[in-house]
Structure 1
Amino acid sequence: MEMSPSSVAANPLDFPHPSEPIERIDDFVVQFWGVRGSIPTPGKDTVRYGGNTSCLEMRIGGKRLIFDGGTGLRMLGEQLQQEMPVEAYMFFTHYHWDHIQGFPLFAPAFIPGNCFHIYGAIPADSESMKRHFIERVLHPNSPVPLQGIQADLRFYELKRHETMMLDDIEIRTGSLNHPNTAMGYRITWRGKSVVYCSDTEHFPDRLDENVYELALDADVLIYDAMYTDEEYHNPKSPKVGWGHSTWQEAVKMAQAARVKRVVIFHHDPAHSDEVLDRIGEEVQHVFPKAVMAREGLILPIGL
């Protein structure tokens, strides 16, 4: 099914609104729909950066790729209802709650005529991606009867450290250092690359070779920078072994891998807008092309 070119709001920090004029594009664009880690954090202290959990969208040459299905996926679903019928390709890093919470409330999945290609790794004891997703991801967690899903769902198993092609889009996978494992992605189109590495924890004595190989010479690295170094090593409440990294390590990786732009992503639920503002200032001081992920942020790649 051919998709019409996707749309971008005039203000790059706001969500498109159905009643507003929108720009038609056929390029490589990343939009953030959920940027928070671990648990949704609605409230007055998280309005500017957003409280929805991990979900981002890449619109590439007329195709729509969706990465992770946190609560931000529900917001994306509301936008997609203005553009149906929809065909999209969904890629999961792993299946912790904050990366799957949005799918049971993803409205386009309950509408016939839509088609979603679902990719991800499966545990060794699972028979197939379809069975794993339906029986272990959706069934025990969904408040909505699964028989209500009317869209065409197609499932594909991915392995780490392999490359697949989606027409002329190259998608390479890699291992991330996270409890129960997670998968990173490098997406390349027409010589431009975006790397998505969430959730992952750095190593204390060396760069993570898997992340480095994915990130090398990328245009954009979206990295799990949940903590500051001070929080990570806080003797009263250390975060070592929790499966997440710091913004300082994000910068270190970006510099070593010659990344053009790093995006600080997967914000700690305890980090308010004001805290993230301060972190953003510190990151900019050492890496001027760094970006703090926020809901609605649109990044054109290569412009």
Structure 2
Amino acid sequence: MLNPLTVRFWGVRGSIPCPGSHTVRYGGNTPCVEIQANGKRLIFDGGTGLRVLGERLMAELPIEAHLFFSHTHWDHIQGFPFFQPAFVPGNEFHIYAVPGQNGQSIERRLNDQMLHPNFPVPLQIMGGDLNFHDLEVGQSLEIGGVSVANQALNHPGGGVGYRISWQGVSVSYVTDTEHLRAEIHPGAFKLAHQSDVMIYDATYTDEEYDHPRQSKVGWGHSTWQEAVKLARAAEVKQLVLFHHDPSHDDDFLDEIGIQARQAFPQTILAREGLVLSLYPQTSTHRIPAKFC
């Protein structure tokens, strides 16, 4: 039997890192998800979780990996300047993103965040082989037999989600998107349709999103209730709530998990160290309670 496709969570928070005693169980690092399939390593987003992943990879040199960005808001790129393997000659990284609404490439955005006065050393000091690729919305590519497709999502400044498929199993990465009021977002639905695992932006609760004194409408994020709605409509097998709000402590997230599972039993909350394993060419997938 083929080895499984594995999904490993290195950062699961949105907006800003929030380390502390109140976030120990779920973690405080911003988004970074690693997928391995068919001997290929794919990394989705470069939040502060990327720094932690980089520390682990230093024991496995040389490294080749493919790094996909959903967009370039700060919480999704702020780990890249601290990604140790990128500084090591002999390592190779292929870096992908759809240019933002202003047309700036991913190379330009990563370069600019490492310029003075924001950072002490420039991107050019990285000794690894960095290969930058601008994607088009809706583009699909294959990496060693693993398919990666993107679709536009609803986020200020633009953003995309990804669908990763291999040997009959699929994972949808649908983060930093705001649901539509009247219908399910077509891009999110296309990414999620009948996927084995859907990782979804559940930053808020419905009550927070529509709060009369501090509405989050227009902020570019969704709710766990909308995650359940999409999971049902798209016939998702496993829902993973992701991009937790930094103000949601461990106890609050525990309660969200209870409520979400009542509405959609195949729901779990992303937490740092969680590993999901999807086995190809089978009718079921196993999700072990495994943490790194």
Flag whether TM exceeds 0.5 (same fold). Answer: yes
Aligned-pair identity (%): 53
Deviation at residue 134 of structure 1 after TM alignment: 4.5
- Are residue 86 (structure 1) and residue 63 (structure 2) matched? yes
RMSD, matched Cα: 1.5
Counterpart of 2:240 (choices 258, 263, 266) is: 263
Provide the TM-score with structure 2 as the length reference.
0.92
Q: Which amino acid aligns with 1:148?
A: I
Instruction: Give 1:138 shift.
Output: 3.6
What's the counterpart of residue 139 of structure 2? 162
Aligned residue among 90, 93, 101 for 1:116 = 93
Whole-Å separation in 1 of the counterparts to 2:100 and 2:25: 37
Any idea what the Cα deviations from partners look like across 1:212-258, whole Å, max 9, x if unmatched? 11111100110000000011111011111000000000000000000
Displacement of 1:125: 5.0
* Residue 95 (structure 1) aligned with residue 67 (structure 2): no
One-letter amino acid of the structure 1 residue matched with residue 141 of structure 2: M
Structure 1 contact 26–62 (Cα < 8 Å) conserved: no
Letter in 1 for 2:131: R
Deviation at 1:123, TM superposition (A): 3.3
CA spacing shift, 1:157–1:145, aligned 2, 3 Å:
closer
Query: Which residue does the alignment assign to 2:115?
Result: 139
Q: CA deviation at 1:288?
A: 1.0
Contact 2:71 2:100 (8 Å CA) reproduced: no
Distance 2:240 2:197 in 1: 7
- Alpha-carbon distance in 2 for matches of 1:134, 1:232: 31
Structure 2 unaligned segments of length 5 or more: list them. 279-284, 287-292
Amino acid of the residue matched to residue 139 of structure 1?
Answer: L
* Residue 77 of structure 1 pairs with residue 29 of structure 2: no
SS of the equivalent of 1:245 reads: coil
Q: 1:227 to 1:112 in 2, by over 3 A?
A: same
Amino acid at match of 2:175: S
* Structure 1, gaps ≥5 residues long: 1-24
For the Cα contact (< 8 Å) 1:45–1:272, is it kept in 2?
yes
Cα distance in 1 for partners of 2:158, 2:221 equals: 12
Matches within 5 A, 1:1-150: 26-123=3-100, 126=103, 128-130=105-107, 132-139=108-115, 141-150=118-127
Which residue pairs with 1:176 in the alignment?
Answer: 153
Distance 1:255 1:227 in 2: 19
Q: Deviations over 1:82-103 (max 9, x none)?
A: 1010000000000000000100
- Partners of 1:264 and 1:123 in 2: CA distance: 25
**1:283 paired to 2:250:** no
Separation in structure 1 between the aligned mates of residue 251 and residue 181 of structure 2, nearest angstrom: 29
2:101/2:158 contact within 8 Å kept: no
- Distance of 2:7 and 2:86 partners within structure 1: 22
Q: List aligned pairs for 1:144-223, cutoff 5 A.
A: 144-223=121-200
The separation in 1 between residues aligned to 2:275 and 2:133, in whole angstroms, is 28
Q: Which runs of 4+ in 1 moved over 4 A?
A: 124-129
How many pairs are equivalent?
278
Q: TM-score, normalised by structure 1?
A: 0.88
Q: Quick one: distance in 1 between partners of 2:245 and 2:102? A: 32
